[in-house]
Homo-oligomer: A and B are copies of this chain.
């Protein structure tokens, strides 16, 4: 089964992201707006219990952090994906490192660019049409994230929450 760990931002920021996603993100219906902190990994029913314990061990060591988005960026030309860029604060980078090292080690072959996707799988034409406008409108929002969610994926591609982890708390 496929799992991942994300932060769901506040309703306000999710609504804002969805205003774009509804039009520009084919994954719109599969998951609500989120920032991934541990990318997709495989685990079976037994393994995930161990993973969840380990995630709990990690998340209790980190405090709630400030999620600050201040601009719209693009991953083009790698992929035609637009996103709210999340400032890579030291707290967030440390949390990401904690969730992707030790017993939770992943073979990450890319740099962690914290973000909330608002458009993806665009054609180059679509991308080029909207990137300027979305960057100009921009985004400016800050909030405290105090919890992460471990999700699993259903056969149709949608994601269900398995568990919530409060940062800085034992549960």
Contact = CB atoms under 8 A, between A and B. Distances in A.
Contacts of A161: 8, 149, 161, 164
Interface string A19-46: 0001000001110100000000000000
Given A1-B11, A160-B8, A163-B147, A32 B154 contact: yes
Contacts of A15: 154-156
A123 to B, nearest CB: 23
A32 B156 CA distance: 10
Contacts of A22: 156
A84 to B, nearest CB: 16
Given A161-B161, A163-B147, A164-B163, A154 B18 contact: yes
A81 B99 CA distance: 42
B29 A152 contact: no
Nearest to A10: B45
Tell me the number of copies of this protein: 2
A55 to B, nearest CB: 12
A170 interface: yes
B1 A154 contact: no
Interface residues of A, number: 27
A57 interface: no
A89 interface: no
Interface in A118-171: 147, 149, 152, 154-156, 158-164, 169-171
A158 B8 CA distance: 13
Contacts of A100: none
Contacts of A159: 32
A7 to B, nearest CB: 11
